[in-house]
């Protein structure tokens, strides 16, 4: 008979939310098993960590040594004309935000997890099955044959899993009429420039490391195939009509771009019994907010305190209801904000009306 291992919390997904939760729980002495189907942390183009997230990283000793680029402004342009200069020193207490590639950020958190004997991170592994008694998950079997029991099971995978099926959250999905493509090119930029056009294109250029620049291009969905697959019209020539920066456009190669997902959703509830959703399993906001990870890191801290405090299943359910489920209101506001930006960026005045200094910098 296969042996059953007893742990405290099983977490699906070693993304930023799952790995941070594992670290916080592990540091409280809880035994954690993290299940990640990929062989390593992936790249996503989620590079911006804004003040809300930076505070959490600093609080847990994860910011120093991260090698993040510190930035103070984002310059917005519309049809080649300056639209807005968002200054973090003006709008936030911290005064800056950071750019750090997703894989490096998550790698730093997992590196800290590796120092704890109580955290077991398993790559190339999936959740094969869960066992339940009423609303309580009593155990799980992993694809490597390991059988686990735990007090709580957290799904931070952002995908369809047996845990999500148990919770059965209702989802309100939001679709967009533009697609987003991403490339990483050599070169550096001192300022982060975001360019919009009235015909629904956008381009975003920012240094992601000391040697590399990330480029995002957004365009109407009906143009994705002609531009990125058939290469007609010419991408650089089109961008030149609203990006007044020849250096940024020099050497851009369509073949280097890959499609980035652009969608948003809200969901409810976030838990059932001792099965809990986290991060990309609970909400998705338009990438234009640059805030998904920062909010998700806050969620991980709230969930960690609940999981640490709860002494039994009943108390866990109550604490999740009172302290964790209300995070939905914060998420819904962010999703709505991102939606406002995504629907107005082509319209100068409407975008300025939609732009909110507090939500964009997110210090409070």
Ligand X SMILES: Cc1cc2nc3c(=O)[nH]c(=O)nc-3n(C[C@H](O)[C@H](O)[C@H](O)COP(=O)(O)OP(=O)(O)OC[C@H]3O[C@@H](n4cnc5c(N)ncnc54)[C@H](O)[C@@H]3O)c2cc1C
Helix (H, G, I), strand (E, B) or coil at 149: strand
User: Minimal distance in Å, beta carbon 142 to ligand X?
Assistant: 10
Is residue 166 near ligand X by the rule CB under 6 A?
A: no
> First CA to last CA across the chain, in angstroms?
53
How many residues bind ligand X (CB under 6 A)? The answer is 35
Rounded Cα gap, residues 122 and 128, in angstroms: 14
What b-and-e string marks burial along 299-327, b requiring 16 or more CB atoms within 10 Å of the CB? bbbbbbbbbbebeebeebbebbeeebbeb
User: Minimal distance in Å, beta carbon 287 to ligand X?
Assistant: 4
User: Minimal distance in Å, beta carbon 147 to ligand X?
Assistant: 17
Q: Which is nearer to ligand X, 17 or 213 (CB)?
A: 17
Query: Burial of 79 by CB count in 10 Å (0-12 exposed, 13-18 middle, 19+ buried)?
Result: middle
Q: Which is nearer to ligand X, 35 or 167 (CB)?
A: 35
Query: Which span (31-39, 85-93, 312-320, 339-347) binds ligand X, by CB under 6 A?
Result: 31-39
Query: Burial of 259 by CB count in 10 Å (0-12 exposed, 13-18 middle, 19+ buried)?
Result: exposed
Query: Which span (16-24, 89-97, 200-208, 332-340) binds ligand X, by CB under 6 A?
Result: 16-24
Cα dihedral: 22, 27, 31, 35 (round 10): 20
Is residue 25 near ligand X by the rule CB under 6 A?
A: no
What is the pattern of x (binds ligand X, CB under 6 A) and - over residues 284-303?
A: ---x--xxxxx-x-------
Give the residue, chosen from 22, 24, 26, 48, that forms a contact with ligand X under the rule CB under 6 A. 48
What is the pattern of x (binds ligand X, CB under 6 A) and - over residues 318-337?
A: --------------------
Rounded Cα gap, residues 104 and 112, in angstroms: 12
38-42: which pairs have CB atoms within 8 A and are 24 or more residues apart? 38/123, 38/124, 39/123, 39/124, 40/103, 40/123, 41/14, 41/15, 41/102, 41/103, 41/106, 41/107, 41/110, 42/102, 42/103
Give the residue, chosen from 139, 218, 273, 280, that forms a contact with ligand X under the rule CB under 6 A. 280
Tell me if 252 sits within 8 A of 184, measured CB to CB: no
Q: Which is nearer to ligand X, 198 or 263 (CB)?
A: 263
What is the pattern of x (binds ligand X, CB under 6 A) and - over residues 174-193?
A: ------x-------------
Give the residue, chosen from 101, 273, 279, 338, that forms a contact with ligand X under the rule CB under 6 A. 279
Is residue 161 near ligand X by the rule CB under 6 A?
A: yes
Is residue 93 near ligand X by the rule CB under 6 A?
A: no
Is residue 261 near ligand X by the rule CB under 6 A?
A: yes
Rounded Cα gap, residues 195 and 197, in angstroms: 7
Is residue 209 near ligand X by the rule CB under 6 A?
A: no
Angle at 291 between CA 174 and CA 63, to 5 degrees: 150
Query: Which span (36-44, 115-123, 228-236, 238-246) binds ligand X, by CB under 6 A?
Result: 36-44
Binding site for ligand X (CB under 6 A): 12-18, 35-38, 44-48, 126-127, 156-159, 161, 180, 260-261, 279-280, 287, 290-294, 296
């Amino acid at each position: 008979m296969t042996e059953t291992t007893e742990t405290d919390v099983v977490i699906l997904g070693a993304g930023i939310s799952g790995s941070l939760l594992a670290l916080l729980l592990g540091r409280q002495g809880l035994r954690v098993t993290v299940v990640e189907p990929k062989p390593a942390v992936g790249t996503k183009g989620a590079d911006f960590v804004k003040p809300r997230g930076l505070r959490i990283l600093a609080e847990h000793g994860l910011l120093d040594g991260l090698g993040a680029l510190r930035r103070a402004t984002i310059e917005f342009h519309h049809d080649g004309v300056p639209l807005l200069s968002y200054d973090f020193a003006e709008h936030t207490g911290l005064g800056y935000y950071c750019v750090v590639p997703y894989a490096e950020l998550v790698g730093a958190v997992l590196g800290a997890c590796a120092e704890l004997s109580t955290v077991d991170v398993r790559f190339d592994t999936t959740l094969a099955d869960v066992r339940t008694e009423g609303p309580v998950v009593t155990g799980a079997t992993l694809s490597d044959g390991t059988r686990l029991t735990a007090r709580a099971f957290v799904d931070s995978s952002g995908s369809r899993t047996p845990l999500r099926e148990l919770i059965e959250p209702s989802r309100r999905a939001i679709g967009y009429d533009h697609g987003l493509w991403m490339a990483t090119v050599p070169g550096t930029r001192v300022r982060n420039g975001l360019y919009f056009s009235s015909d629904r294109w956008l381009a975003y250029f920012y240094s992601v490391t000391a040697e590399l620049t990330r480029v995002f291009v957004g365009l109407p969905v009906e143009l994705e195939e002609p531009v990125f697959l058939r290469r007609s019209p010419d991408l650089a020539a089109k961008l030149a009509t609203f990006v007044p920066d020849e250096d940024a456009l020099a050497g851009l190669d369509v073949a280097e771009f890959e499609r980035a997902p652009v969608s948003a959703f809200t969901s409810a509830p976030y838990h059932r019994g001792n099965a809990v959703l986290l991060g990309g399993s609970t909400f998705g906001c338009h990438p234009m907010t640059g805030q998904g990870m920062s909010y998700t890191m806050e969620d991980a801290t709230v969930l960690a305190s609940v999981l640490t405090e709860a002494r039994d299943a009943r108390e866990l359910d109550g604490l999740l209801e009172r302290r964790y489920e209300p995070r939905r209101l914060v998420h819904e506001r962010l999703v709505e904000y991102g939606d406002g930006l995504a629907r107005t960026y082509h319209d100068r005045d409407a975008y300025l009306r939609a732009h909110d200094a507090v939500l964009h910098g997110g210090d409070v």
